[in-house]
Structures are given as C-alpha cells and as structure tokens.
C-alpha cells in the first residue's frame, strides 16, 4: 500500500524539522499514541492503539529516522506488532519545501501489513490509513502553528 500527500504548515522549515524530531510533538500528533520514547537521536519506541474496522489492537514498535538529507529531506522506517491482530511495517520519505507563508511538507509512505488485520480488505485498510495520516498531519500542523503563534 502506498500513500502520498502534502500540507502547507504556517511555520519556517527549521521549526517544522525540529518538531519532527520532538517526541512530545510526535506523541501529540500520532492518533492513538499512548507512549513515545526516544532511545537515541534517531530511534524511538512507540505504543499505539488503532482500530481498523472491527479490529482494535495495541501495537508496540520501533521507529528509525534517517536524517542524512536534513533539513530538506528525511526518511522514517518502522515496524510494529499487534499480537493476534497482526503486524505493520513501512516507511515514509518526507520533503520540507520552503515557501512564502510557511513550509510545504510532502510525503510518500509505503506500508505492509499481515495477520488478522490484513484480512479486512484493502479498501478498508487504505481508507483507515488515509484517515490516520490526514489526522497526524492535521494535528502536527496545528501543534506547530500554535507554538509559532505563542512564541
């Protein structure tokens, strides 16, 4: 499954990039995130509760950042296990483009799922994935915009 989208965030690129590295901002932005812990500069562990159709599961997993193209580009890879519900693994390439009025965040994400959750059908899974990614970026943009306005 592949998703791509973009959003204009009313903040300079350095603020957007810094927010992508901040576990508190990420935890507040990720739908269903119960816990996000930094292990190193480029590694996090997470616990997230997700509901896909009739299946609700708690996923525990690890996320790794590749910041070699920073601050213009970065890559995120991760995998999570939801027990009997199944597993998910994937990644996203993120591009931050400076524009008048802020920063355009463009991403392309790929995911692979298996187990009980994969049996729900690709249309339901794709719809849920789109909804979750839209919620993440909406939450993320709102958090950054609020920080910029306050400070």
State yes or no: pLDDT of 5 exceeds 80. yes
Distance CA 81, CA 136 (A): 20
Compare 1 and 108 and report the one with higher pLDDT: 108
Segment 110-135 mean pLDDT: 84
Tell me how far apart the terminal alpha carbons of the chain are, to the nearest angstrom: 39
Show the domains of the chain with their CATH numbers: 2-146 (3.30.530.20)
Compare 148 and 58 and report the one with higher pLDDT: 58
> Using 50, 70 and 90 to split pLDDT, how confident is the model at 12?
very high
State yes or no: pLDDT of 147 exceeds 80. no
Query: Mean of the per-residue pLDDT values for the chain?
Result: 89
Which pLDDT tens digit goes with each residue over 71-91?
A: 999 998 989 898 888 888 888
| Strand arrangement of the beta sheet that strand 33-40 belongs to | 2-9, 102-114, 87-99, 73-81, 55-66, 43-52, 33-40
Q: What is the pLDDT of residue 118?
A: 82
> Using 50, 70 and 90 to split pLDDT, how confident is the model at 151?
low
Which pLDDT tens digit goes with each residue over 23-76?
A: 999 899 888 999 999 999 899 999 999 888 888 889 999 989 999 999 999 998
């Amino acid at each position: 499954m592949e998703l791509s989208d973009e959003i204009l965030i009313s903040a300079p690129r350095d603020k957007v990039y810094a927010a992508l590295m901040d576990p508190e901002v990420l935890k507040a932005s990720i739908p269903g995130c119960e816990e996000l812990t930094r292990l190193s500069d480029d590694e996090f562990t997470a616990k997230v509760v997700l509901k896909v159709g009739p299946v609700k599961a708690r996923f525990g997993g690890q996320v790794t950042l590749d910041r070699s193209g920073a601050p213009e580009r970065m890559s995120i890879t991760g995998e999570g296990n939801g027990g009997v519900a199944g597993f998910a693994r994937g990644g996203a390439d993120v591009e931050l483009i400076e524009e008048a009025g802020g920063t355009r965040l463009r991403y392309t994400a790929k995911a692979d799922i298996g187990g009980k959750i994969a049996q729900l059908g690709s249309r339901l899974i794709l719809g849920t994935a789109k909804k979750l990614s839209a919620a993440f970026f909406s939450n993320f943009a709102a958090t950054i915009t609020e920080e910029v306005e306050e400070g």
